[in-house]
Structure 1
Amino acid sequence: MKLLLEDYEVIRRWIHRNARPLDLARWKFHFENGGTPPVLEALSAYQNEDGGFGHALEADAWNPNSTPIMAATAVERLLELEFGDAEHPIVQGILKYLDSGADMEGQTWSNVVASNNDYPHAPWWHTSSDSTARSFYNPTAILAGFILKFAARDCALFERGMEISQGLADLFLKDPELEMHPLKCVATLLECIAWGDLQEQFPYASLQEAVQAQSARLIIRDAAEWSGYSCRPSAFIKSPQSPGYADLAGLVQQELDYLLDTRNPEGIWNLNWSWAGYEREFAVSENWWKAHIAIENVLLLQAFGRLAV
C-alpha cells in the first residue's frame, strides 16, 4: 500500500493553503525541488537580536523571547537541511546566543524559562510542569551538538561544547533509561558528533548501542496504542539506513500502513495532543503542527518507498 498521487496532491494543496512560510519552504525543499535559501529566509524571521529564537518557532510556546528550546528547534531545521555553512548569519547568531551563557544553569541550558508563562503555551512549557520532556538532555544535548558541528575548533565555545557533550555522554552511559524526548536529543548529539568527525573523542560505539537499545525499549509494539501520545518506531527510525531498522522492520512497515490508514477527512493527520487551554491560540498552532506532521509523515513514506509519486 502506497500514498497515491491523488492523495499526495490533496496533502500538497493543503500545505500550500495552510502552512506558515517556514513549513511551506520546507515542503518545497523536500518535495518540489525548492532550494535552501527560502527555508533559511523564513527561519530567520524567528531569530532575535541576541541570536536566539522565539516567536513560536516551536509552535506550542508563543514566547517571543529567545529560549533554549526555540534555539534547539532552529538547530533541528538546519540539520534537516544538512546545512553546513558555519559562517551563515543564522548559524553565527545561534553561536552568539549560546556563547552568551543566557538561560544556562551550570553546564545545561534551561528546558523551560519563566517568560513562557506570560504567553500562550502548552502546559508542558509552563514553569510548574513536571512533563517527561523536562530533562537536562533537552535541549542541552542538541545545543552542545550544534556547537561541535559549527563552532571554530580553536575557540572557547567549542571547548565548552566538548566538555558539556562529554559530560552528557558519561551520564547517559551510566543511566541510559531516558524517556523519548531526552533520548532523541542524545541521538541528535551523536549525529552532530559524527558530522564533526569527532567520534574518537567519545565512546561512540557504546553510545550508539545504548541509544538503540533504549529506543527499542521505548517503542510501543501495539498499534492500538499509537493513536495516543506514544513512541512509535518513526521516533527513531527514519529510513532503512537508520540504526535498529533491521530488528524492527516489520513494525516499521506496520506503522507505514497505519499512517496511510489514519489520514483525516482533510487528507492529512490530526495531532494526538492538545493544550487544554488558550483555545484560540491552540487552533492556530494546531494548523502549524499539522503542516509539520504532514512533512514528517510524507518524508517517512518516501524513505520507505511508500510514495507513488
Structure 2
Amino acid sequence: MSVSFKTSWMQVRQAVGMDMYTAGRDFVRRDGRVLERRLFATIFEGADPQGVVDALRGYQNADGGFGHGLEPDKRCPDSLPLDVEVAFDTLIAAGTRDEEMIRRAADWLDSVATPDGAVPLCGPAVEGYPRAEHISEWTYQPGINPTAGLVGRLHHLDVAHPWRDRAEAWCAAELEKGFPEDAHGMHEAMEFLEYRKDIDLDRVRDWLPKLQYFRADAADPSYGVTPLQFASTPDSPWRELFTEAQLEAHLDRLIADQQDDGGWAITWEPPGPAATLEYRAVVTLGALRTLKAYNRL
C-alpha cells in the first residue's frame, strides 16, 4: 500500500517536473491568505515571526477575542473561541508569542465562559453569516472541545491566567469521568493532557479505537483525524501510541494526497470558493510542516 502511494505521487510530480515542496509553496503563495503566506515564510524561509503577529492583529477584535473568519468555515466577524484557538495555534507554529495579544484573548475567554470555565466552539452569532453546514447548534455547547485545547495551548505559550486555572480544574475533572467520544474532542483533550504530569498512555491507547472519526488506516479515504494529527512531530509524547508502520503509511498517504495544483484537498464543504482556498492553504501548510518534521520533504 505504501509503495503504491509513493509511486502515484512520484509519477505525477516527475511528469510536471516539480517537487513536492515547491508545488506546495507555490500553492500557498498563490492561493493562501496573507497570514498563511507570512507563516510559511517564517517556518520555511526564516522570516521574522513578527510578520505573523502583525497579520493576526487584523483578526483580533476590540474585545480581545478573534473572529473575521480566522478559522475559514464561518465568515462571522464576532469573536469566537474557535478563532482564538486558531490564533494560539498560529503563534505556536511561528515559534513566537505576543503576551498582550494572548492575555487579551484569555480575558475574553474568561468573559464568555461558564462559571466553571468551559467555553463553546462558536455561538449563535454565526447564524447571520455564511458558514459550513457543520457549524450548527452543537458548536454552541461548552465542552472539552475546545476548552481543553485552549488550556493546553496557553500552557504551550507559557501564559498563566485566572481563566486558564479555572478551566484547567474543570477539564481535569471532566476527563477523569471519561474521554470524549469523537476524535476531534480527543485531540483537544490530548493537547491538555500533554501538560499534565500523569499522562496515562495505556488509557489513551485503549480509547483510540473507540473514537468516532479516528482514521487509523491510511488507506481509508473517509474524513477523519489521523495518527499524524495526534503526533504531528516525531518528538510528540503521543508518538508512542502508534507503530512505525502506521506512521510511515500515513506519511506516504499524505504525500500521495498532494493535488496537481500543489495544494492538499479538504474533505468537507466550506461556505464558498474563497473559504475553500483559504482552508486548503491552511491544510497545505500543515501537511508541509508535518512532512518537514518527519524528514520527508
- Please classify the TM superposition score into its range, dividing by the shorter chain length: 0.7 to 0.9
Residue 185 (structure 1) aligned with residue 188 (structure 2): yes
Equivalent of residue 283 in structure 1, options 260, 273, 284: 273
* Residues matched between the structures, number: 280
SS at match of 2:296: coil
Maintained 8 Å contact 2:181/2:210: no
| AA matched with 2:279 | W
Equivalent of residue 198 in structure 2, options 195, 198, 205: 205
Q: Deviations over 1:110-129 (max 9, x none)?
A: 233111010011122222xx
Deviation at 1:38, TM superposition (A): 0.6
* Counterpart position of 2:282: 292
Deviation at 1:170, TM superposition (A): 2.3
Identity in percent = 24
Please report the TM-score for the alignment, with normalisation by the length of structure 1.
0.81
* Counterpart position of 1:52: 65
Maintained 8 Å contact 2:71/2:82: yes
Deviation at 1:102, TM superposition (A): 2.5
Deviation at 1:266, TM superposition (A): 0.8
* Counterpart position of 2:293: 303
Give the Cα separation in 2 of the matches to 1:40 and 1:67. 19
Residue 90 (structure 1) aligned with residue 84 (structure 2): no
* Counterpart position of 1:67: 80
Deviation at 1:8, TM superposition (A): 1.6
* Counterpart position of 2:207: 214
Deviation at 1:11, TM superposition (A): 1.7
TM alignment of 1:14-163, pairs within 5 A: 14-86=27-99, 89-99=100-110, 101-102=111-112, 104=114, 106-127=116-137, 130=138, 136-146=143-153, 150-152=158-160, 157-158=161-162, 160-163=163-166
Residue 174 (structure 1) aligned with residue 168 (structure 2): no
Maintained 8 Å contact 2:65/2:104: yes
Q: Deviations over 1:247-306 (max 9, x none)?
A: 42111101111122222221221111114xx4xxx2111101111111111111111111
Equivalent of residue 237 in structure 2, options 239, 243, 250: 243
| AA matched with 2:149 | I
Please report the TM-score for the alignment, with normalisation by the length of structure 2.
0.84
Deviation at 1:181, TM superposition (A): 1.3
* Counterpart position of 1:12: 25
Q: Say if 1:66 and 1:207 are closer, same or farther in 2 by CA, change over 3 A.
A: farther
What's the C-alpha RMSD, in Å, of the aligned pairs? 2.6
Unmatched tracts of structure 1, length 5 or more: 194-198
Maintained 8 Å contact 2:119/2:142: no
Deviation at 1:93, TM superposition (A): 2.0
TM alignment of 1:226-265, pairs within 5 A: 227-246=221-240, 247-265=242-260
Maintained 8 Å contact 2:259/2:265: yes
* Counterpart position of 1:272: 267
SS at match of 1:205: coil
Maintained 8 Å contact 2:49/2:95: no
Unmatched tracts of structure 2, length 5 or more: 1-5
Q: Say if 1:217 and 1:244 are closer, same or farther in 2 by CA, change over 3 A.
A: farther
